[in-house]
Structures are given as structure tokens and as C-alpha cells.
Amino acid sequence: MATTTKIFGFVLLVITTFMALSVSCSSATVYKVGDSDGWTTKDETYNYFWVEDKEFHVGDSLVFEYDPLFNDVTQVSGALVLHFQVLPLFNL
């Protein structure tokens, strides 16, 4: 009887640990770019400082809320991105 209880306790511990790890590993974060201000071009450093305290992971999402009268956001393919020359935003 004691052996069965120990086995059951061990199995319960393994299942609980697995569930805790899978939740923490699979949770994605949704970021609103620019936080309450939304996507903006206030100045050349605004978006740099916004991203500074973020830690992005695979599966996270970026939400761009913007005023279409002043800004736009376009989704492009990876192949199209390779055709652009990416310049650093800042000389750090």
C-alpha cells in the first residue's frame, strides 16, 4: 500500500511539473507597438527606447495600431525583405 502511494505521488509530481513547464514555455505575449501611444514616429529614438525593455520570443505577436492618415504598416515576405538594404537606426 505504501509503495502504491509513493508511486502515485511520484507520477503526480511528474505530471504537475510537466504541466507547469509546458505552460511557461508555450505562453506567447502580445505586444502593442508603442504601448498606449501606438505605432508612431514621434522622433527617431522613440521606437528604440520602446523596445529596449522588451524580450521577444518565438510565438510572440506585435500589434500595430496607427493613424492611417499619417503612418502605414505593410506586411512583406521574407524574400522581399532580402532585397532591402537594412541600415542601423542609430549609431550606438
pLDDT, one tens digit per residue, over 17-66 is 666 655 555 678 999 988 887 777 667 677 778 888 889 999 999 888 88
Q: How confident is the model at residue 8 (pLDDT cuts 50, 70, 90)?
A: low
pTM of the model: 0.49
- Residue 61: what are its φ and ψ, rounded to 5°? -125, 145
Inside any domain, residue 90: no
- How many domains would you assign to the chain? 1
Inside any domain, residue 56: yes
Residue span of the structural domain in which 37 resides: 2-81
Inside any domain, residue 87: no
Residue of 88 and 64 predicted with greater confidence: 64
Please check whether residue 39 is in contact with residue 71, taking contact to mean a CB–CB distance below 8 angstroms.
yes
Residue of 63 and 72 predicted with greater confidence: 63
Predicted confidence (pLDDT) at residue 2 exceeds the cutoff of 90: no
Provide the 10 A C-beta neighbour count for residue 83. 7
Inside any domain, residue 92: no
Inside any domain, residue 89: no
Inside any domain, residue 58: yes
Q: CB within 8 A of 39, min separation 6: which ones?
A: 33, 64, 65, 66, 71, 73
